Structure 1
Amino acid sequence: MPVTTLAGHTIHVDDEGFLTDPSEWDDELASVLAAQVGLTLTDEHRAVLEFLRADFHQRGETPTLRRASAGSGVPVKELFRLFPQKPAKKMAYVAGLPKPVGCV
């Protein structure tokens, strides 16, 4: 399991750069991860990330795009605006969660 350092945070990641230990994540790291995928976090982003992490903690798996939309109350179209191109993958990456099952 590779280890890397981002903005002073030593984190364990998989081959694609997704955190393998969600407990290593914090809000500061979220901003760094977001910048790596071309995003600047707003309160809207942070609300979605908060839902994703709570859902992961409860269910033990990264939410799909549909579950993220339904659970957070943010329409899928809005998730595409907040996290362009591959929203489920980007949301999981920035939230410090494993890549969702079924994402390529």
Structure 2
Amino acid sequence: MSTTTIAGHEVEVNEEGFLTRPDQWSEDLAPELAALIGLDLTDKHWELIRFLRTDHAAMGETPTLRRVSTQTGTPVKELFGLFPGKPAKKMAYVSGLPKPKGCV
């Protein structure tokens, strides 16, 4: 693991750039993380980010794409539109959480 500075915040990250300590994440860090992967956050993004953070705290692991879809009522197709390419991975990244299990 290494340490990097994002938007003035010193954070610990793994080899893929995911925060290794979710407690180092803050809402002012999320737009910076999103910009690094080419996203501008909307209210819908924030709804999903907050769900991921809450669910991770309650369940002890990052929710899968299916869980996010079923628990938030957001169709998987919409998740792909909001977080193009690899939505589960990108949602976790912007939320400051580990990659979901089974995510390549």
Regarding TM over 0.5, the answer is yes
Moved >2 Å (runs of 4+): none
Instruction: Quote the Cα distance in structure 1 between the aligned partners of 2:70 and 2:36.
Output: 27
Residue of structure 2 in register with 1:61 after alignment: 61
Partners of 1:65 and 1:84 in 2: CA distance: 13
For structure 1, list consecutive stretches of 5 or more residues without a partner in the other structure.
none
Distance 1:21 1:7 in 2: 16
- Alignment match, 2:73: 73
2:46 matches 1:46: yes
The number of residues matched between the two structures is 104
Q: Please, what is the CA RMSD of the aligned residues?
A: 0.6
**1:96 Cα offset (Å):** 0.2
State the distance in 2 between where 1:100 and 1:89 align: 7
Secondary structure, counterpart of 1:27 in structure 2: coil
TM-score by length of 1: 0.98
Normalization by structure 2: what TM-score? 0.98
1:103 alignment partner, SS class:
coil
